[in-house]
Every structure is written in C-alpha cells, then in structure tokens.
Amino acid sequence: MTQRLHLVFGGELVDPSRTVFKNVDDIHMVGMYPDYASAYDAWKAEAQRTVDNAHMRYFIAHIHRLRDEEAEAGPTEELGS
C-alpha cells in the first residue's frame, strides 16, 4: 500500500489575493499527516483558529506527489552526480 503523506503549513501573506508569505521564517508547520482526511482536519482547525486575520492562510501540500518511487532517480538526486 502506498503511503500518501500530506504537510499542513501556513502563515501570514503579504496580500490576501496572492500566496506570498510576509516572513518565511514565521511559517507555521502544523504537521505531517498520513492521509488527506487527517491533513484536512488539521488544516480546517488552523484555518478556523485564524479566521479573523484575512492575511493568514493554511495549505495542504501533497508530499507524496514530489517523488515517484518507481523512477530510478529523481531530478534532485541527479544534481549530485
């Protein structure tokens, strides 16, 4: 069975209509989750907690999409050779 990891993170944006963080050092890493449902629950809790700040946004990153385990080598692994 394939594990589908998801990262939930967020922070304050420069402008609510764009996805540029005001300060990357202040990004809140909520956590890594083994499935979308639990990541969604964590995302929703953080989004609701910060609902009064229009500049705060939380995101779900599909970590499992960053690496194809069936491929011989990923693009970043090739940079080292």
**Residue 3: its pLDDT value, please?**
78
Domain 6-69: CATH architecture, name and number where available: 2-Layer Sandwich (3.30)
Q: State pTM to two decimals.
A: 0.77
pLDDT in tens, 22-67: 999 999 999 999 999 999 999 999 999 999 999 999 999 998 877 6
For the chain, give every domain's residue range: 6-69
Would you tell me how many other CB atoms lie within 10 Å of the CB of residue 80?
6
Residue 42 DSSP SS3? helix
Does pLDDT of 4 surpass 90?
no
Phi, psi (rounded to 5 degrees) for 2 = -80, 135
- Contact at 8 Å (CB) between 6 and 66? no
